[in-house]
Structures are given as C-alpha cells and as structure tokens.
Structure 1
Amino acid sequence: MDKQHTQRIGVSLPPKLLDKFDNMIGEMGYNNRSEAIRDAIRNYMLKNQLKDEGGDGVGVILITYDHHRRGVTELITDIQHHHISVIESSTHLHLDKNNCMELIIVRGEIREIQKIKNKLSSVAGVKQTELIITSTIR
C-alpha cells in the first residue's frame, strides 16, 4: 500500500478489547494492527454494501434450531422450497439430542437471499441465523 495515499487515524479501545484484538491478529499472522484494521473495515463495508446495493451474490445461510419445536422443521423446509431458484443445496447436521444446524448454499439476487434469511429468522424455534455472502465473481 502506498503510504502517500494513506491517512493516519486514532482509535480508542477499552484495554481488554485491545488485548483480545492483539492476540487475535497475532494468531492470524498480521504484521501490525493497521493491516488488521484495514481488513476489518473492508469486510464490514463489503458486508453492508452488498446488502444495500443488491445485485447477484453467492453465500451460505446458517441456521440452528430446536427440532422438537412443533412445526419448525416443516416451516424451514417450506421456506426453502418456495425459494428453490436461489437455493443451490443444503446440509443438515444433528448438533445434539435437541438441536440441529442447517447450512443452505444460496446463489442469486442478494435482496432475495436476505429475504430468505429474514423469513428463517422469524420461525419459532430457530435460535440463530447467519448470512455469509459475497458478490458473484464475473
């Protein structure tokens, strides 16, 4: 990175957070905080930019849920079948005697993918949803 085209900024952090950050970036192999902060900012901006701009993307929706909750499995399956044009595949994992995880591979309109994630989040019995997405590489 050309130092002539960078600006120095200051960031205030609580000591415990900074210690955790320093440990993490050391484990990840960063040479300094600036590199790690640049990557974190880029990732944050990409994640939020994709949600706002739309376009096509590819990613994974991860959900965890209590499979004993009445109707939860059926609703999750129904939502997937209603969006079959966007869902490439899914994988089901049994986490323990009560909980399951579903990994849903998606490709298509980012706004449509976000709608699917939001629908899954609203199902009673779903404990967690995460969307990991990137723009489609052309």
Structure 2
Amino acid sequence: MEYEKSYRNGEARLHGNNPSAYDLCGIRIVMEYDFYGRSSYLRAIRLSGANMQRITITIDNQLYNEIEKLAEARGYQNRSEIIRDLVRAGISETDAVSPSGDCIASVVYVYDQETRELPQRLAHTFQKAHDLSVATMRIALDHDSCMEVAVLRGKSKAVQQLANEIIAERGARHGRITMIPATIETTRHAHGGGRVHTHEHIRVR
C-alpha cells in the first residue's frame, strides 16, 4: 500500500487515503508498509524548485510510532522536520570530539543473546581492538535480551570506528556512543611509597 500527500507553494495535494503524511518544505513523504504490515518506509521525494534530496529509509513500526510521539510532544508540523533535526543532532554529537585527539567513551547497546553468532562476533570485534577496550559490563534484561556497556579509550577516530562496527552488527539495537575529549598520558611514578611503575592517566579536558 502507498499513500502520498505533498505540499508545494502552500497548496496541499493528497495522494491516496492517508491524511497523516505531509511536509511543508517542498518534499513529498511517501509511506509504505510491507505485505505483513510490520515495517514502515518513509520515502522523501524532492519536488522541483526545492533544495532537497530524495532518500529512502526503512524503520520498524515501533520506531515509527516513537517518531510520531516525539514530533507531537515537541510541536513539529511534519515528520521531515523532526527527522532532519534528529540527524543534525547525531552529526553534531559525533563531531564534538576531534578525530585526531584522545577520548574516553562508552558504548551502550541491547541485543538478543540467541541471535545467531552475535555474541561471538561481538567478542571477536573486541578482541581485535583490545588496545581500545577497557572493560565491558553485561546485564541480563530478561530471558532473551541483554544490555552491554563497553568502555573504550584511545584516539577518537579509532574509538568511533570500533563503536560504529559494534552498533552496526546485525541484531544490535539501541546502540549509542558517548565520547568525552581527554588526554591520555603515560607517566612513571610511585603510589603511596610503593615501587615506581609506568601507567596511563586519562585526563578529561
């Protein structure tokens, strides 16, 4: 099934039978559902004269409903505006840390432990990047799902790449990374009158 409703030059044109799809910025939002009604597709079509690009994204029904609720709570007039703002916020958060600098970071994600080979793939990913991984904590949420919190440190670019690889794993959900700019120093001194030894200090700026 496909419904279209577009606005151009202030004039609304309804295509199909879904009055909830609209946009005021010169693009047409097309909502599509798969045969089983399990997935929602938002397709943005650039109309002539508008400085927009056409994209297609696939989201599940739960995320679609969350976007609807958030748009209503914040007073957005259409879905495109809130999706653009959410994308901008994500880009801004990613760009907040210099790629060439050091950072300390946490990566949080949820996954189903029965997902085929996912725990093994995650373990292998961390093993490959053992120099970036500080610790990982796993919390059982129910009989199937668990949440993991991974603490990473190192060069921001490498940490971001590792976090992206973890979050992009098929079956991982709600993946988020928080990166804090820091300076990682290797020092050599004693603690409490003990032996002098070499270790790292992570100084948050």
Task: Give the TM-score band, short-chain normalised.
Answer: 0.5 to 0.7
Question: Residue 79 of structure 1 aligns to a residue in which SS?
Answer: helix
2:161 paired residue number: 115
Cα offsets for 1:28-58 (capped at 9, x unmatched): xxxxxxxxxxxxxxxx9565231x5431000
Q: Select 1:90's aligned residue among 136, 148, 160.
A: 136
Percent identity of paired positions between Structure 1 and Structure 2: 16
After the TM superposition, which parts of structure 1 deviate over 4 Å for at least 4 consecutive aligned residues? 44-47
Bigger-Rg structure (1/2): 2
Write out aligned runs for 1:1-138 (5 A): 16-17=73-74, 47-50=94-97, 52-136=98-182, 137=204
Task: Write 1 or 2 for the structure with the bigger share of helix.
Answer: 1
Assess if the C-alpha contact under 8 Å between 1:86 and 1:113 holds in 2.
yes
**Per-residue CA distance 1:99-121 (angstroms, 9 max, x = gap):** 11111111101111111111112
Q: In 2, are the aligned partners of 1:58 and 1:106 still within 8 Å (CA)?
A: yes
Residues 56 and 107, structure 1, Cα contact 8 Å, conserved in 2: yes
Structure 2: state its 5+ residue gaps: 1-70, 76-90, 183-203
Equivalent position SS for 1:119 = helix
1:17 alignment partner AA: R
Closer, same or farther: CA 125–89 of 1 in aligned 2, 3 Å: same
The aligned residue for residue 57 of structure 2 is: none
In 2, Cα distance between equivalents of 1:123 and 1:16: 31
Shift of 1:128: 2.2
Question: AA paired with 1:74?
Answer: Q
> Higher strand proportion, which one?
2
Instruction: Tell me the CA shift for residue 82 of structure 1.
Output: 0.6
User: CA, structure 1 residues 15+105, in 2 after alignment: closer, same or farther (shift >3 Å)?
Assistant: closer
Superposed CA RMSD in Å reads 2.2
TM-score by length of 2: 0.44
Contact map agreement 2:104 2:180 (CA 8 A) in 1? yes
* Rounded Cα–Cα distance in structure 2 between residues aligned with 1:122 and 1:46: 18
Distance 1:45 1:128 in 2: 18
Give secondary structure in 1 for the equivalent of 2:96: helix
